[in-house]
Amino acid sequence: MPKLDSSSLIDVQPGLTNWRRWPMRWDYGTGLIDIQRGLTSWRTWSMLAWNDIRRRYRRSSLGQFWLTLSMAMTIGGLGFVYSHLFRTDVTSYLPYLAVTFVSWGIISSLVNESCTAFSENENLLRQLALPRSIFIFRVIARTFMVAAHNALIIPVVFIYFGVGVNMNLLWLAVGLALVIVNGFWFGFFIAIVCARFRDVPQIVTNVMQVVFFITPVMFQPELLPESGRSLMKWNPFANFLEVLRDPILGVQPSSWALTTCFLIAVVGFVMVVPFASRYAPRVVYWL
């Protein structure tokens, strides 16, 4: 009978010892296959995402439009208050706030909800051999379904204050693509980490609350001094927000924001595929 050394036993152990092994083998095949199977299962994750929203507002009179009403009341209240605090014309500040709130809702939901993408689907993962990426696509689909409801606020505000759109709106397609790709790779990564370490979701939630206040959601970048605007360029969330916000407001996103989002997407995807290849199959052992 051949002898088994300790290294061969570590390779099949799904516990903490194997998590700490380094360097990680750069296996792209398993991760890419998982992503490909997840993409082709679009009917599954789109149905699950829509069912999440329907279940949340079951037997409600307004249903999913409670999401829209809640955000509209928040934008209206904060818009009139903060326009006086910042001494800004409400006719320009409220449309800005409506766009940034809807855009920030997409970004923050992709980050926060990805933390529980695996833990909230424990039963499915234990009973069915599904690609792990399905649950990340489910979060992305659910986020944009909610955003589609909230986006109804923007044309109402624009019409009321007489704000127009122009051809720069076409840049929104590029911005959405960049946010989706970045949301996917980061969601895949953070979902695996949160499945292994259950304190991470609380850390991420608290960090996102801080990021909200240092990202130009409530305030316009023009209100910052030159040094503050230069420093804001290094905030990745400010760049993600810009590529979604500026096209709707009729402004072309800066080349810095587009390039930054693209480079983050490339680097993140290159890193997360081998990471998912190694650790995504073991998620079921950590639930």
pLDDT digits (tens, 9 = 90+) for 170-202: 999 999 999 999 999 999 999 999 999 999 999
Q: What is the pTM of this model?
A: 0.87
* Rounded distance between C-alpha atoms, residue 242 and residue 240, angstroms: 5
* Rounded distance between C-alpha atoms, residue 91 and residue 157, angstroms: 9
Q: Which of 3-7, 28-32, 228-232, 280-284 has the least mean pLDDT?
A: 3-7
- The answer to whether residue 232 scores a pLDDT higher than 50 is yes
Contact predicate 251/9, CB 8 Å: no
Q: Indicate the pLDDT class of residue 60, thresholds 50, 70 and 90.
A: low
Rounded to the nearest angstrom, the gap between the alpha carbon of residue 145 and the centroid of all alpha carbons in its chain is: 13
Q: How many CB atoms lie within 10 A of CB 261?
A: 24
Q: What is the distance between the terminal CA atoms of the chain, rounded to a whole angstrom? A: 35
Mean pLDDT score, 251-273: 95
Mean pLDDT score, 109-126: 92
- The answer to whether residue 85 scores a pLDDT higher than 90 is no
Residue with tokens 């259950």: 198
Give the pLDDT confidence of 274-284 residue by residue, as tens digits: 999 999 989 99
Q: Is the peptide bond before 23 cis (omega within 30 degrees of 0)?
A: yes
How far CA 149 is from CA of 67, 70, 91, 146, 159, in Å, comes to 7, 11, 23, 5, 17
* Rounded distance between C-alpha atoms, residue 93 and residue 51, angstroms: 35
